[in-house]
Amino acid sequence: MPGGSYKSDVLIALAGESGAGKSTSAQMLQVMGFHLIELTRRLRGEAKALFGAPTRADIQRYAREVQGNHGNDHYARTALEEFGDETRGDIVLDGIRNPDELDYVTGFTARTARAFWLLAVVTPAETRFARVKRRNRAGDPTEFDHFREDDRRALGDGKSGFQTNAYLIERAHRRIENTGDPGDLEIALVETVAAVRGDG
């Protein structure tokens, strides 16, 4: 099973701004044997059903509405409830967004005897915008000013709100700067996994 022995199971939650490389990092960890849980994909799928081709601002507004009704930890809580406390193995959680989700994940790892790290993937804004343009996903901003405005909302204001990237990045156990070299990113992730297990 992924993760090896019971005591060695870990959960790595990924935080970071749009285009930083969270999904790429998550996929690399999946190849290493981690169960992949994609919070952003769930959210985007719901928004797509409503808006067709939602912009990032549409997704942010929709998420605030959902979390206003169901709590800021809604997406992390429902995903981990579906995964189950009894299921063993390493987990990578792609797209943690706010302190309430962080608190829920911390509680989940405590009661399931998993080591836990919050990992921030960081990249300069200009590089992230270039990546977002290359991926050409419907609804992504095509102008840098709009991209930075979306960033500003996603960074949040302190601890409150749907998305507080600045708070999470500041509190990460480790930051990885994703320069765009897949080999460097993979090495950094391998080192992170070793560190969270206590082997590095």
Domain residue spans in the chain? 6-197
Phi-psi region at 71: left, alpha or beta (left = phi > 0; alpha = psi -120 to 50): left
Chain centre to alpha carbon of residue 92 = 9
Cβ burial of 143 (10 Å; 0-12, 13-18, 19+) is exposed
Tell me the average pLDDT across 169-184. 93
Residue-wise pLDDT for 184-194, tens only, equals 999 999 999 99
Residues 6+ away with beta carbon under 8 Å from 33: 2, 3, 89, 90
Tell me the average pLDDT across 10-33. 94
Helix (H, G, I), strand (E, B) or coil at 16: coil
Give the Cα separation of 55 and 61 in Å (integer): 10
Tell me the average pLDDT across 99-128. 94
Q: Report DSSP state, residue 113.
A: T
Contact criterion met (CB below 8 Å) for 164 and 97: yes
For residue 48, list its beta bridge partners: none
The predicted pLDDT at position 140 comes to 82
The predicted pLDDT at position 161 comes to 55
Q: Give the predicted TM-score (pTM) of the model.
A: 0.84
Helix (H, G, I), strand (E, B) or coil at 169: helix
Please report the sign of the dihedral spanned by the C-alpha atoms of residue 35, residue 39, residue 43, residue 48: negative
Confidence of residue 91 (pLDDT cuts 50, 70, 90): very high
Beta 91-94 vs 174-177: how paired, if at all? Answer: unpaired
Chain centre to alpha carbon of residue 36 = 11
Residue-wise pLDDT for 58-87, tens only, equals 888 888 899 889 999 999 999 999 999 999
Tallying the residues shown for the chain, one arrives at: 200
Tokens representing 178 are 């994703």
Contact criterion met (CB below 8 Å) for 198 and 41: no
The predicted pLDDT at position 120 comes to 96
Confidence of residue 122 (pLDDT cuts 50, 70, 90): very high
Contact criterion met (CB below 8 Å) for 192 and 29: no
Its CATH class, for the domain covering 6-197, is alpha beta
Contact criterion met (CB below 8 Å) for 190 and 4: no
Residues 6+ away with beta carbon under 8 Å from 99: 72, 159, 164, 167, 168
